[in-house]
Amino acid sequence: MKNKKIKSRLSILAMAVFMLMTSFSAEGQEPINSNYGGVQIGAITYSFRTIREVDAVLQACVDAGLSSVELMGTGIEAYLGAPVNPVSRREMRRPDELSDEKKEALKKYQEEINTWRYSEETMNKYVGLKKKFNDAGVNIHIYKWTAGMSDEELDYSFKVAKALGAIGITTEIGEENCTKVGAAAERAGMLAIFHNHYQYAQEDFDVDKLLAMSPANRLNFDIGHYLGSTGKDPVAFIEKYHDQIASIHVKDKTGKDNEVKGNVNKPFGQGETPINEVMQLIQKNKWAIYCDIELEYKIPEGSDAVKETAICREYCKQALQ
């Protein structure tokens, strides 16, 4: 049975609360360790998306008991003191409609941000950010951000990821990304790691072709999206592609053909995603695959993203005992 080794949600919640009280990485205390039975359980920091400030995101990682994370890059440059773009994201979607004044301001900003990005001082700031996370007991194993899609911007992005201690960069799977980001990862001696939403449900989707575009290409395989969009078993997929999977996103969903409603996010243990089997398969075979929680279900009243991520982490831990 899928949940035979998993205790009730209340029991898991109690364990998670205990962990929140005892897992801080501080002087005189045991360091955080969310590696269970040889399987590294972490989270993508998108799970804490309502938390904007970088220091608060780090504290959320600590409070959720995570010793390693896939770090979203949103807001990182601003946190480190980068120049602020005077043109909004909405305005940037229609560059031809910008006023002459806005165009001039944008040109000045692009010169300033390039100067900032390629300075030694800036790279030292990224090294300092890595140290801040590591000192709190949290490693950054993957960075989810690119400065742009030109070769120069991608090379810079991988330089940043390396400074943070990551093995590579995650982005969405597709032909352009698998070509350009893969080539940049190869130049950097790192990995280009490709996330899926519902691409595997497309009849003409060829994952083998995309992986073959660069020896640096790997998968960030989202087991919930895969089940929810295709109805197929993610365990079988992992068995086939395990040596080309750098990480998985762990979430629980109903399957595509669920009789009530398919492809719906659920609290761990309430959906149909075989989380236990996936955890145990990776553990049994000692595969070097990061397992990152992606919190997407509706947070229950009285809880929050940090508490729910801790509950998910405890769920995964129980599957590995």
Average pLDDT of the residues of the chain: 92
The domain total for the chain is 1
β-partners of residue 39 are: 36
Q: Which domain holds residue 162?
A: 11-84+120-319
Q: Which residue has the tokens 């243990």?
A: 269
Q: What pLDDT does 300 receive?
A: 96
Q: What pLDDT does 27 receive?
A: 52
- Please check whether residue 303 lies inside any domain of the structure: yes
Radius of gyration from C-alpha coordinates of the chain: 20
CATH code where residue 206 lies = 3.20.20.150
- Please check whether residue 2 lies inside any domain of the structure: no
Crossing angle of helices 151-163/120-135, nearest 10°? 40
What is the mean predicted confidence (pLDDT) over 98-115?
A: 94
- pLDDT bucket at 9, cuts 50 / 70 / 90: very low
- Please check whether residue 6 lies inside any domain of the structure: no
- Please check whether residue 249 lies inside any domain of the structure: yes
- Please check whether residue 99 lies inside any domain of the structure: no
Q: What pLDDT does 208 receive?
A: 98
- Please check whether residue 163 lies inside any domain of the structure: yes
Say what percent of the chain tops pLDDT 70: 91
On the question of pLDDT at 11 being above 80, the answer is: no
On the question of pLDDT at 195 being above 60, the answer is: yes
β-partners of residue 144 are: 72
What is the mean predicted confidence (pLDDT) over 95-109?
A: 92
> What does the pLDDT look like over 268-294, one tens digit per residue?
999 999 999 999 999 999 999 999 999
β-partners of residue 140 are: 69
- Please check whether residue 162 lies inside any domain of the structure: yes
Cβ(138)–Cβ(32) below 8 Å: yes
The pair of structure tokens assigned to 167 is 């093995």
Question: What CA–CA distance (Å, rounded) separates 141 from 169?
Answer: 9
5-14, 25-34, 87-96, 180-189: which has the minimum mean pLDDT? 5-14
To which H or E segment does residue 68 belong?
strand 68-72
- Please check whether residue 250 lies inside any domain of the structure: yes
> What does the pLDDT look like over 112-169, one tens digit per residue?
999 999 999 999 999 999 999 999 999 999 999 999 999 999 999 999 999 999 999 9
Crossing angle of helices 305-319/54-63, nearest 10°? 40
Of 319, 221, 216, nearest to 269 (Cα)? 319
Cβ(316)–Cβ(291) below 8 Å: yes
